[in-house]
Amino acid sequence: MESPVLSSALPSQPAPPVARSVRDHRIDAMRGVALLMMFVDHIPQSLLNRFTMRNVGFADAAEIFVLLAGYASWLAYGRGFRKYGVSVCLGRIFRRCVLLYIGQTIMVMVYVLTIRVWRHYTLVPVDFLEPELAHGLSWVWRVMMFDALPSNLNILPLYIVLLGGFPLFYVLMRIHRSLALLLAGAMWMLVNLDPDLNLPNWLDPDGWYFNPFAWQFLFALGASAAAETERRGADFPRVDLLAGCCVLYLMFSALQAFPWALWGLPDLRPFGAMIMPEKSWLSPLRLLDVMAIFYLVQSSSAARKWAAESRMGQILARVGRHSLEIFVVGTVLDLYARLLFSTFGDGWLLQIVVNVVGLSILLALAAWLDGYRKRQRAAKAA
């Protein structure tokens, strides 16, 4: 039986049939890039993370990940409400949240058990695992209920909360798209004015590192972008003035955020030692950064062609199509890479081995998962 709340938000006239659209490989490729950069960024000792986007802008891979999660959620479930009905689509959202929860549980258990075993043989830096998780079992229920979010294991809980709230956002979108974005933006602005508005975190008095009341706006912007693209049946229009403003802003962001001192270069920051925009509650400069990147890519036919036809574009898109599996495996590999560096040093040989082996595992996993999915579809079609 369909939810009366969702049903009442639907128009009285029959909805037009949802056409099967051609997959936009740019979304998959961007998500693939974000996943690989998250793998690299979560290894502080890795020299490779000097070349990720967090060094050339205010935003980093996490913003790309959440924005595209919203975009993909509309494609998967926003159209699904009209095509399959409310009850079926709610069931699909619930199953996806369960899979995300299983992935989060696997990562937490691997982290805790690995570090507890590893420290029997060698010292492990205390920041690899919060002290509250190092002993006893009192932490289990807190972690399972998201009352405690360990470092580097806090983005999937955010995703679960945002996806769980997607039906409400869908209702607001069907009532009026501007209303949905206005409410989401107002909540984001309220958090930026009062960062104490957050969910509690037993491990951090400041609450969730990714404040869901702020990050929901980025998720909502991604979903709205997907809805607009679907309505238009075409890419975002390429407005030269807007594209130029995006490029200029990204140039400023790159100059201001680049670690000049780390590279031994003259400091070219336009505003000197400016306080970097806060990631926890998604400061406006970070939001503008990721939206500028998104607009330039999504309004570019050249980017669409590159993602669909080039070898590198297809490799990255393959990674992005299996985001949950790649993220879980990549996060586990991050832990072992950090332990190897802390135990054996971060010399060049180990740098090469860790990064080459880690990235190769993720790319090979994406290729295997893609082949497995194709074989399943072929068997179902047969």
Model confidence pLDDT, tens digit, residues 107-131: 999 999 999 899 888 888 877 787 7
- Please give the pLDDT value at position 5: 42
Model confidence pLDDT, tens digit, residues 285-312: 999 999 999 999 999 999 999 999 999 9
**162-176, 263-277, 336-350: the lowest-pLDDT one:** 263-277
Nearest Cα residue to 313 out of 25, 8, 45: 25
Distance of CA 369 to the CA centre of its chain: 20
* Residues contacting 313, CB < 8 A, separation 6+: 25, 29, 306, 307
Model confidence pLDDT, tens digit, residues 197-253: 999 999 999 999 999 999 999 999 999 999 999 888 888 899 999 999 999 999 999
204 three-class SS: strand
Distance CA 354, CA 341 (A): 9
Number of H helices, E strands in the chain: 16, 0
Contact criterion met (CB below 8 Å) for 306 and 300: no
Partners of residue 204 on adjacent β-strands: 201
- Tokens representing 190? 């309220």
Distance CA 282, CA 63 (A): 9
Rg for the chain (alpha carbons), in Å?
A: 21
Q: What is the pTM for the complete model shown? A: 0.91
Distance CA 79, CA 20 (A): 10
**15-24, 46-55, 270-279, 340-349: the lowest-pLDDT one:** 15-24
Contact criterion met (CB below 8 Å) for 334 and 43: yes
- Tokens representing 215? 């990050």
Distance of CA 218 to the CA centre of its chain: 10
